[in-house]
Chains A and B, each alone.
Chain A
Amino acid sequence: GQQVMQIPQYQHVQEGEDFTTYCNSSTTLSNIQWYKQRPGGHPVFLIQLVKSGEVKKQKRLTFQFGEAKKNSSLHITATQTTDVGTYFCAGITSGTYKYIFGTGTRLKVLA
């Protein structure tokens, strides 16, 4: 079945350092979404990417969808302690209703 992998699984950074998580799908995606789960919380939607090569920014967060629509990345510039949590990508294949989540990247930010 369709698989979505994320790397790294864990990342510890000093506050102010940059952070990137990568998402790779075994199949071509229709669109990809990103979610953030704070410790003890539930996943919360951040953004959706639809077009090949699309880049979107939300303040210090930059999201990119690969040209082949099989991979994506989330980059955080100058991390803050509020960025702590687990970041998930979710791939959606055309013609389905299934959101296949990646394995997640857990980010810790050291003050």
Chain B
Amino acid sequence: DVKVTQSSRYLVKRTGEKVFLECVQDMDHENMFWYRQDPGLGLRLIYFSYDVKMKEKGDIPEGYSVSREKKERFSLILESASTNQTSMYLCASSLWGGNTEAFFGQGTRLTVV
């Protein structure tokens, strides 16, 4: 079974802190994604990557950056955390292209105080 693992299930950070969310997949998938999930807004794409060192902005990239130095790992970075970044963050991966299913991690609930 494909496994997508996020480093933390719950995280509490202070305003202004630099925050790293890590995601690792074990099935050699080409694509990796970061979404945030908020009530009534669904899953909104922050960034995605279709290859090592390649990244593209999603719909809400402001205040975030990403890093993909190895194929299996995709990191989301909040440069200076703000309270409006309190949310559930979901990482996903898919084999290639846009016609294979996406596998999700268990999510990280981030609270910025």
Interface residues of A (CB under 8 A from B): 1, 6, 9, 30-31, 33, 35, 41-45, 48, 50, 88, 90, 92-94, 96-104
Contacts and interface: CB of A to CB of B under 8 A. Distances in A.
Interface of B: 31, 33, 35, 40-45, 48, 50, 56, 58-59, 90, 92, 94, 97-99, 101-107
Classify the interface of chain B: helix, strand, loop or mixed.
Answer: strand
B35 A98 contact: no
B42 A45 contact: no
A45 to B, nearest CB: 4
B42 A104 contact: yes
Nearest to A9: B40
A98 B58 contact: yes
Given A42-B107, A44-B104, A98 B99 contact: no
A97 B50 contact: yes
Given A98-B45, A104-B42, A43 B99 contact: no
Contacts of A90: 102
A93 B43 CA distance: 17
B59 A31 contact: no
A63 to B, nearest CB: 14
10 contacts: A31-B99, A41-B106, A42-B90, A42-B104, A88-B42, A97-B98, A99-B94, A100-B59, A101-B42, A103-B40
